[in-house]
Structure formats: structure tokens, C-alpha cells
A and B are shown apart, each in its own frame.
Chain A
Amino acid sequence: MGEIDRASPEILKELEALRKANAELLSEISALQKQLQGTVEMSSKPICIDGPNAISLEHNTKFFSQTQHILYGSSSVQESVAPSEAKLEVGSKARANINEETPNSQGISVAHLENDWIYEDVGGCIRKSMGNCERLHNLDPYTISRYSRQLLVPAFGVKGQENLLKSSILIIGAGGLGSPAALYLAAAGVGCLGLVDHDVVELDNLHRQVIHTEGAVGETKVKSAAAACRAINSFLKVNEHYSGLQASNAVNIISKYDIIVDATDNLPTRYLINDACVVMGKPLVSGAALGTEGQLTVYHHDDGPCYRCIFPVPPPPDACQSCSDAGVLGVVPGIIGCLQALEAIKLASGTGEPLSSRLLILDALTTSVQKVKLRGRNHSCIVCGDAPQLSRENLHQFDYEAFTSSLMSDKIPQRKQMLPLSYGVSCKEYKRRCEEGELHVLLDVRDAHQYAISALPNSVNVPFSQLKERVPQIQDLAKGIDLEVEEAYPTEVLAQSLRPIYVICRRGHDSQKTVQFLRSNGFPDTFDIVGGLECWTREVDHHFPKY
């Protein structure tokens, strides 16, 4: 106190005022203490309520002393800080109230103020912050420690973190893109994360959908992903949307969030998400990955274009490759998903320049990342243009599957029978004919890299795309002359007439087209093995690898 003794009368006067204020505060606290008696179970264990920024009792205590310090920030009068038990009481009171009034933290729609705490609704979850008193910021000591390495980034800082903690982000698709996006957003400290997916985790997802574990195979992706996010950050509010996104629920789901991340795997859903984002005025972080390539952009932000501005007409369905057909190197959606998290964080925190009106193109094989300039908003766009035809009222009537001629899933559509039934044999029938010793040719028309995964013995690989050029070879095969596997067809059994040709592929689509082509090009004895190798695995040999 020596310093204060020597201080000017003004400072002593100020100190007296502060002491008075402190005494008032203490009496208020003891009044609250009385009120609380019997209503709050005092516990030394941290209590967590539901919500992104719920603060444990322990954190509250620290938080309160921090706030006191801020109140008397410039003064060196440390003794004016209230006794710690009393502070604990105030923190408890606040918590007691929130527990009484909002048992599950849902349903509060507006911010309200209570005992200097502000409660506000962030995407259906309650966020709590200090209000009504001078403060540097809303971050309590725990939050500061937790996100310190992010707070230290000058371009992000306290403001960025505060904004992020208040934000709600919806990730549509908990697959290859959604996995890393969800993990990073959960860790970065967004307030509320929504997850949409209607699929279950499958074995062939695990190489790229890194949020799911072996133990989650068979579980819904949303449940598995939500559990992983909660394990990373227990302060995070996670909303689980199991229904998947359809025209009927898109506007409703999207309306609850600030920023939307498109991490889906199919064309009609991409148009649907775009339209719902535009009619609800939400920025859309769009990512896609296939094979060894990835693409990223932000739609409908800062007067930039929407998906329909760039692609008003959908591509023909044959041009749309899916991961289940064309494959995907796991790390490629991993990179794009991380970039989607980055763009979402930038939008939510107000940091940097979101990738609007520009497209990032990743080529993993050459490790090239290219950023190109896109056209601006199209004023005659049917959803974001000056006279839009789609609105939040009529969007649910738009038939997205018909518009794109493809399904809202990357699942393979049912095999279509294109040939007369008499041109096909079942897998079982083909096996029977083999066992009877019928001399024949088995053509496998898959691409060579698929043939290399697994193939039936004695099959000859003639990729569908090379069919026309390889007719002479097929001719030789049908005559019993196999230049590559001569011993398989001893010369003494060479027949004058052509042997029957059986054609197989992965799922029985290209094989039908091949049969059609060969039958009209001099090979009338050509048959489709119905349903392809997938059917072979199901009906004949369960050990034949399915991919």
C-alpha cells in the first residue's frame, strides 16, 4: 500500500469509490448466496451444460476473478477483489438458472441477459458470455488456453475466435470431404456443427472417410461423426440430421446455420444445396474430389456466382463419374475437405479472403494447385438472378433427380436389362456350362486396372473402349486360337465353327453393350453373363473379391 499512500488525493478518492463499489458488490453477492441456499448443489467437480461455450464451475471461478481484474484493470488495488467463495456463488447462480430454465438448452431464440451473463442462441444451442460490464473480450481463461495457438495468429486473433465460437456451420455429407472438414471445425472451436448424411459406414469408406473407425462399420455416418467431434471438443454443440437432405427439408435445415459446407457425392444434391443456400442467403463452401483431382470454391458470397450461374445446365449423366466407379485416392478429398474447413473458418471468423468467384483445382499426380478466376453472378440465373424463379416457397417442388437425370446418392442405379433375355445367361448357368466342359471364350470387358484387381480364370481382358479395334483378336479366340494362352486351347480341339462367347464385366452394363455389338458384327453366339462379377460373388463364389 506504500505506493497508494504517496499517491495524489484524486487517486485516493478513486480508491475510496472503488472500495465502496466493492462493498456493494459483496453485499449483492451475499444476498444472492442467501437466495441460493438449498437450491444449488455445491460441487467441486466441473459441471458442463449442453452448449458450445458452456463453462464448467471451475472455469467460472477463474473467469470471474479475471473479470474482476478487468473491472479494476488499471488500478493496482488487488485487495478489492472479492473473496473467491463469493465469486463461486455468483457463477453457480448463473448456472442454476440456466439449468432450471433451459433443461436441454434448445428452444431459446433470443439472447437474454442475466446476472451479467449473456445467453444467446447459436444454431439451437446456447452460448454464454459476459455482458453488461467493461471487458476486453468474451473468452474465459480455459478458452484462451485451449485456442491460444490460434489467438496468436495476428490475422485471426481474439476477434476471429470469438466470431468462430458464435458461428454455426452445417456439413452436408459425412464422407471423404466431410470427415476432415468436421474434425477440423470441431477442433477449431466453432459454436455449433450440424451433420447431414443418411448413409451408414461401410468398409470401403474407411480409406478416406477418416472420421469413422473400423468399429463404426454398419453405424450411421452421422452418429459416428458426431461422436468423434464430441470426443475432440466437449464444448461443441453437434446437431445430428439423419434424414439426409431432400428438397422437402433442405430449406428448413439450412436456415438454422450461418455457413453451409457441401461435402456430398452427387449432382442433384449439389444443385439442391446451392438453391437452398441462395434462397436462404447463406454462403456455400463447395468441394469435390474424384480420382486424383479436387475442386474447391465458395458460392453465393459477396455478390459472387452460385453453382447455377456457372453450370445452368447439368452435364449428361454419362459424364458424371462417382467414387464407386472411378475410384478416389483417400488423401485427395482429405485435402479438399481441409480446405473447405479453412474457407468455412474464414467466413465464420471474418478472416482473409474467401474463395468467391474463383476455383481452386488440385491435381494430386503433379502436386499442382491452380487457382482460376470465375465469372461473376449471372443476372439471369434462375435462383440468384435479378428475377429468380426459385424461392424458399417453391424450392421443395423442384425435381432435382429429374433435372439432372441422376440419383441423390452415389450408389449405383439398378442394372437395366437392355438385351433380349435370351441373349443372357445367369452366373449359375454359366458355371454349369463350364463344369460340363463347353468350349467357349470368356471376355472380360472391364478396364485393365479393374481386371488387375480380380478376374475369373481363363477370362480374356478386352476393355470395352478397345472393343472395335480388337475384333480380329476376338475372331481368333472364337476360332480357338489364343495367341497369348496357346496351351489353353490345344490345336487338336480347334473347331471349324465359332465357339460361343460369354461376356462379363463388373455389374453387367458394358457386357450387354458388348453382346449387342458382337452379335451385330458376326458373332451371333454371344451371351451376357447377367449381373457381372458382383453377381458372381453373390450367387456363385462368395470368396471372389468384391470392390
Chain B
Amino acid sequence: MQLTLEFKGGLELLFGSVKVHQIEVEPSDGKDKLKLQELLIWVRNHLLKERPEMFMKGNSVRPGVLVLINDCDWELLGQLDAVVDEKDTVVFISTLHGG
């Protein structure tokens, strides 16, 4: 499954300062959809370069990080149970406070 992952709001610093990642990931046991829960683990194991606690807390993202699946808040799609499909875009964005 091909996905586009984007890290914004400073999160890219944890991913080698690369904001956009085109990834190829296979859902476990041959399903055609991938749960966000699985995707997060894949990201932690394959993409995350440093300070995992700045990206994740427990099995979810840390407070202050929004997850957007195809421009929609993952809370509206089932959070960790939300599923992604071929060619979907998932954005991880840290809330900013500066001004």
C-alpha cells in the first residue's frame, strides 16, 4: 500500500528534517486496509529518527499532535481505529504557539 506521510509544525525534526515521505507499507495478515494503530507502530519502527517521546505517548501520538487523514481530523474517523487506504495522505502536525 502506497501512502504519503507528512510531518509538520516541527515534527519533521524527528524525521531527519524531511516533511514529506512516500512510503510503501503492507497491512498485516493480508487485509487491504491499514489501521492507524498499525501505521503509528510502522512509523516509529521505520521512520522515526530521534526522541520517540516527542512523537508518541503510549500507543498513540503525544498530546499536542493532530493527525489528519486526507485533510480530516482522525477523531472524526475513529482515531487509532481509523483506516487508511491506497494513496491516502496522513499528516502529523504539532500545534504551534509562536507569534
Interface, chain A (partner B; CB < 8 A): 173, 175-178, 263-267, 270, 287-291, 293-295, 310-316, 318-323, 326, 328, 333, 359, 361, 363, 370-375, 410, 465
Contact = CB atoms under 8 A, between A and B. Distances in A.
B66 to A, nearest CB: 7
A373 B73 CA distance: 6
A372 B10 contact: no
B61 to A, nearest CB: 10
Contacts of A318: 54
A351 B93 CA distance: 30
A294 B96 contact: yes
A363 B8 contact: yes
A371 B72 CA distance: 9
Contact of B98 (A289, A311, A373, A375): A289
A315 B96 contact: no
A320 B65 CA distance: 11
Interface in B61-99: 62-66, 68, 71-73, 75-76, 91, 93-99
Contacts of A267: 97
Contact of B10 (A263, A312, A321, A410): A321
B8 A313 contact: no
A410 B8 CA distance: 21
A178 B94 CA distance: 22
Contacts of B95: 288, 295, 310-311, 315
Given A321-B10, A371-B71, A375-B73, A310 B97 contact: no
Nearest to A468: B50
A363 B12 CA distance: 13
A243 B40 CA distance: 44
A313 B63 contact: yes
Given A289-B98, A295-B9, A372-B71, A316 B76 contact: no
Contacts of A288: 95-99
Nearest to A366: B19
A315 B94 CA distance: 9
Nearest to B55: A319
Contact of B64 (A295, A314, A374): A314
B68 A375 contact: no
Contact of A314 (B63, B76, B98): B63
Most B-side CB within 10 Å, residue of A323, A361, A371 = A361
B53 interface: yes
Contacts of A371: 71
B63 A370 contact: no
A333 to B, nearest CB: 6
B97 to A, nearest CB: 5
Interface in B19-68: 19, 50, 53-54, 62-66, 68
Given A315-B63, A375-B76, 10 more contacts: A176-B99, A267-B97, A288-B95, A288-B98, A294-B96, A295-B9, A313-B63, A316-B64, A319-B54, A323-B98
25 contacts: A265-B98, A267-B97, A288-B96, A288-B99, A290-B98, A293-B9, A295-B95, A310-B95, A311-B63, A314-B63, A315-B65, A315-B95, A316-B62, A319-B10, A319-B64, A323-B98, A323-B99, A326-B98, A333-B99, A361-B8, A370-B71, A373-B76, A375-B75, A375-B76, A465-B50
Contacts of A322: 97-98
B93 to A, nearest CB: 7
Contact of A374 (B73, B94, B97, B98): B73
Contacts of A363: 8, 19
Contact of A359 (B62, B66, B97, B98): B66
B2 to A, nearest CB: 20
Nearest to A172: B99
Contacts of B64: 311, 313-316, 319-320
Given A315-B64, A374-B73, A293 B97 contact: no
Contact of A316 (B9, B10, B53, B72): B53
3 cross-chain pairs, A with B, having the tightest CB-CB distances, nearest first:
A315-B64, A290-B98, A313-B63
A320 B10 CA distance: 9
